Structure formats: C-alpha cells, structure tokens
Amino acid sequence: MKILLLAQFFPPDVGGEERHAFNLANALADRGHDVAVATQLLPHTKPVETLESGVTVHRFISSAMKYNRRYLDAARPHHLPIPDPGLTAELSQLVGRLRPDVVHAHNWIVNSAVALRRGGRHHPRFGLVLTLHDYSHVCATKRMMRRGSPCGGPRPGRCLDCAVSHYGAAVGVVTAAAVPVMRRWKDRSVDHIVSVSTEVARRNAVADSRTPSSVIPNFIPDALLADVAGQGRQASTATGNGAGFIFFAGDLTRDKGALALRDAYESLAGGRPDLLMVGRRHPDTPDTLPAGARAEAEWPHDRIIEAFRRCVFAVVPSICPDACPTTVLEAMACGRAVVATRTGGIVDLVQDQVTGLLVPPDDVRALAGAMRRLIDDPGLNRRLGEAGRQRVRDFTASSVARRLENIYQGVMDT
C-alpha cells in the first residue's frame, strides 16, 4: 500500500519521536510498502532525499518556521495545534501527486492533515491515523508537567499559565486556546488513534473519544538485536580504569531527571563507575557535576548505541510522565540492566526486579540505592540485562509494523 508519514522533525534531528518515525518508515518499506515522509525543512537538510530503504523524504518550510523569532527555541519551531497554512498547502500538492492510501501523522502535524481531510472532494480520499507520542491531545506543553511536578489534568487557567511560561506570550495564548478546539476537530476527522503507552492513552483521555484506538509502543529495529547478538556482551572499559561507566541519554533537564541523577551519583560512596550523560542542553541543565561525571552534547545515534553496549547499566530517571522512552528499549536490546523511575510509559517497558529496577520519580535516595545495588552485585546486573534482551523482542519493528498494517487496512476499508 502507499503510506505517507507526517513527522514534525526527522533525522538527522535527534529525539525519540524522530527516531520512531525514521524506524517506522524503514520497517514499512522493508515489508514492501511504498513509503514517503513529509517533514519540516531544517538547516543542513535537503528538500528531497531518498533513504537507503527507498523511502523518499520531502521537507517543507512551514508557516511557523517563517516566524521562528516568536519561539523561545528558534532552532526548533514547533507545529502549532492548528493547521499550518504553508504546510497544509505543501501537503495538499504532495497528497495529490502521491495519492496515498494512508496518511499516518505523529502529534500536532496531524492538524494540517485534518485540514486536507475536511477539504472534501478536492483531495484524494485517504485513511488518517494519528500516533500520540506524548500528552499533546490535552496538554499545551505536551509534557503534563506543572511547576516541576506532574500535572493533575488540563484546566483553562492552568493550561494558559503553563503555555505562556513555556512558549512565550504570543505562541502560548494561541496554543492553549487551540488544543481543546482541535481535539474536537480531530475526533471527527481521524480514523484511528495510536498511543505509545497505556499512560499516554489514559492521560489523553483517548477512551472518551469516539475514534477507534490502540496502544502500540515504540520499538527498535530488528537489526539492532541481531547486531548485538553478533558482537556478544562487550566488556565495559570505556573509562580506562576498568570500572566502566553508567550511561544516561536524553535531554539534560530536570524533567528528564538529570538533576536527580547528578545528586544521586554524588551521594554514592567510593567504588563508583564514571557517569556519562549525553543529550541536548537546556537552561536547567546542571552547570556543575561531581567528580567522575561528565556531560556531552548530542551524539549521532550509532554512537549512542555503542555507549549502551559498553556501559555498566543505563539510567532513565525521568520525573515527567515519560511517554515511552526508546532509550529504555535500546539499553535492553544491548543487554543492559535499566534503573528507571516508575512513571509514564516506562512501566510498560521495564519489569521491576526482572529486567531492571524501578524507583519513585525524583527520589534521589532511592535512585542512588538502586544504582549502588547494581554496582555491588554484578550477577544481578547481568541477569537483569539478559532478561531485558529477551523481553525487548516484543518491541521490535517487525512486531509493531504488523499491528500497524492491520490498522492501515482497517482505515482504508472505512
């Protein structure tokens, strides 16, 4: 079938949603589908490129990008929760040329596809699938966080305050007002909603919609498991002192647990491995780190995977209700135990005491205790890592692609 994926950002941009769209496009192409991707044109990318899998990537300048000075992060202008005029026009032409059977959109970029669906007979008929990677169906900031803690749920005044603080006044007001309006519009126009975790489905109140829905998690390429199995379990000697290193990959923010991890690591007694933290820096990124810890800027994805292969164990200490962090799956695929927080979609991925250790979010003492336990008990560390590598087989591209193909066929038949 002909499938058009819509993604706000796409590799070489770095992030879990970006990696998901990239992996999905390649997995569908490998299964014989005609796949194209539409995304925003970012610096150092080409308007059109063809991936090795045969997927064609079309990159466009959206109206939002032309006004990026309105955004707090001008390098990453987000798609507003309304149809983007420039992107909608480009998509209209692309859909007319490609005539896809299914358009599969990820998060707010779906609003421009909804505008095409509501254009009636002027556009070719296509099934429309939406994947929710976060809480953007109901939350203006997508994170379900308020003043450093998980939010209890959307309220008009509360959402306006958060949106203005997060985006600035101009974009924040529009975003807060548009989210509930567009949700009703999407409920009438989208054929199927996919949530990447049970928590994403619950907090977005997907069950309250009349749109059919499923929970289908993020995934890893099948090749990653094969590559790891071929190389075997590597010795963790990257620091040069034989102790290996503890690894964190993600935005270096309080929400992602970077500050809690710093404090937990600092509290560990002697005999600790080094700590390596890799990710995008933000205003709340820790300025100082204890001895043995270092922070690096964004790395290419293959270098991240190599670090997972070489680390002693991985840490995912999110304070926010992390939707479905792919880094958990990548660590498990590399045979590494995971110390993570009991929040968001992480609980769908990590089985406490079986494939990793779960602790309460923002509990520095518990986080340090779990890390110390794996440091002092190599046998437990190894057993958790090996169990994780077995469990992650349920989260491979081939398994997820089959489930999505069934959904695609269903929306084509409606």
Structure confidence by residue, pLDDT tens digits, 380-403: 999 999 999 999 998 999 889 999
Q: Give the pLDDT of residue 218.
A: 92
Over residues 255-281, the mean pLDDT reads 94
230: its two tokens: 């071929």
> Which residue type is seen at 331?
A
High-pLDDT (> 90) share of the chain, %: 72
DSSP symbol at 50: E
Q: Give the pLDDT of residue 171.
A: 82
3-state secondary structure of 247: strand
Q: Give the pLDDT of residue 398.
A: 87
Q: Give the pLDDT of residue 239.
A: 35
Q: Give the pLDDT of residue 307.
A: 96
Over residues 290-314, the mean pLDDT reads 94
Residue 119 has pLDDT above 70, yes or no: no
High-pLDDT (> 70) share of the chain, %: 92
Q: Give the pLDDT of residue 112.
A: 93
Domains 2-219+396-413 and 222-395 are alike in CATH topology: yes
Over residues 59-79, the mean pLDDT reads 69
Judge contact between 137 and 153, C-beta under 8 A: no
CATH class of the domain at 222-395: alpha beta
Which contacts of 250-253 are long-range, i.e. CB under 8 A and separated by 24 or more positions? 250/279, 250/316, 250/318, 250/325, 250/327, 251/279, 251/280, 251/282, 252/277, 252/279, 252/280, 252/281, 252/282, 252/285, 252/286, 252/295, 253/282, 253/284, 253/285
Q: Give the pLDDT of residue 357.
A: 98
pLDDT in tens, 79-110: 788 999 999 999 999 999 999 999 999 999 99
Q: Give the pLDDT of residue 78.
A: 67
Q: Give the pLDDT of residue 170.
A: 82
Average pLDDT, the chain: 90
Length reported for the chain? 414
Residue 40, strand partner residues: 60
Over residues 197-219, the mean pLDDT reads 95
Confidence band for 16, pLDDT divided at 50, 70 and 90: confident
Q: Give the pLDDT of residue 74.
A: 54
Q: Which of 106-115, 191-200, 230-239 has the highest mean pLDDT?
A: 191-200
Confidence band for 122, pLDDT divided at 50, 70 and 90: low
Confidence band for 4, pLDDT divided at 50, 70 and 90: very high
pTM: 0.91
Cβ-proximal residues to 19 (8 Å cutoff; 6+ apart), any chain: 11, 301, 326
Over residues 62-74, the mean pLDDT reads 65
Count the Cβ atoms, other than its own, within 10 Å of residue 394: 12
149: left (phi > 0), else alpha (psi -120 to 50), else beta?
beta
Q: Give the pLDDT of residue 284.
A: 85
Q: Give the pLDDT of residue 236.
A: 41
Residue 285 has pLDDT above 60, yes or no: yes
At 125, phi and psi to the nearest 5?
-75, 135
Query: 2-219+396-413, superfamily in CATH?
Result: Glycogen Phosphorylase B; (3.40.50.2000)
Q: Give the pLDDT of residue 63.
A: 86
Residue 9 has pLDDT above 90, yes or no: no
Over residues 398-411, the mean pLDDT reads 94
> How many Å apart are CA 155 and CA 161, to the nearest integer?
10
At 343, phi and psi to the nearest 5?
-155, 155
Residue 226 has pLDDT above 90, yes or no: no
Count the Cβ atoms, other than its own, within 10 Å of residue 406: 9
pLDDT in tens, 303-344: 999 999 999 999 999 999 999 999 999 999 999 999 999 999
- Across 362-382, b (16+ Cβ under 10 Å) vs e yields bbbebbbbbbbebbeeeeebb
Domain boundaries, the chain: 2-219+396-413, 222-395
